Amino acid sequence: MNQRFLIYGVVGWIVATAALRVGGQHLLRSSEWKGILILYLVSFILMASLARRLLLTLQISQEQVLGAVVSLLLPTLLLDPFSGAFFPAIFPNMAPEMAGAFGGWMLISCAGALVGGIIYGVKPTK
């Protein structure tokens, strides 16, 4: 467990949850399946980039990468199942039927961060 990455994960989860409570209805719309697929793709790429950049910036050793990335994702993996289960209460601005799309979004974002950790050892080309 990497305490620094866990703190980043908690802060990120709080900020993202607050942002979704305010404007989530603009990201997850039940009638726009193409938009959801684009959101998934963009989120995957952004999370992979974010995780990789954090690992590079904080110079995490190859042996510590898995623990760091899991620490980063732990708040999402532990707290967002409750966000999905109580979706209408937590995100009153979004349609209740978007709970499944929200859950998928969290999973694809976590997968992106894991891929970012996997490609961490690959040196960036300039």
Q: Please, which pLDDT band fits residue 7 given cuts at 50, 70 and 90?
A: very high
**Is 126 inside a domain boundary?**
no
**Is 36 inside a domain boundary?**
yes
The number of domains in the chain is: 1
| pLDDT over 70 percentage in the chain | 95
Tokens of 63: 């042996």
Q: What is the pLDDT at residue 30?
A: 72
Q: What is the pLDDT at residue 123?
A: 60
| pTM of structure | 0.88
Summarised one tens digit per residue, pLDDT across range 94-114 is 999 999 999 999 999 999 999
**Is 48 inside a domain boundary?**
yes
pLDDT higher at 48 or 124: 48
**Is 95 inside a domain boundary?**
yes
**Is 28 inside a domain boundary?**
yes
Q: Directed axis angle between helix 65-85 and helix 3-23, to 10°?
A: 30
Alpha helices in the chain (DSSP H): 3-23, 33-57, 65-85, 87-90, 99-118
Structural domain boundaries enclosing 81: 3-121
Phi, psi of 65 (to 5 degrees): -60, -50
**Is 80 inside a domain boundary?**
yes
**Is 68 inside a domain boundary?**
yes
Q: What is the pLDDT at residue 39?
A: 93
**Is 21 inside a domain boundary?**
yes
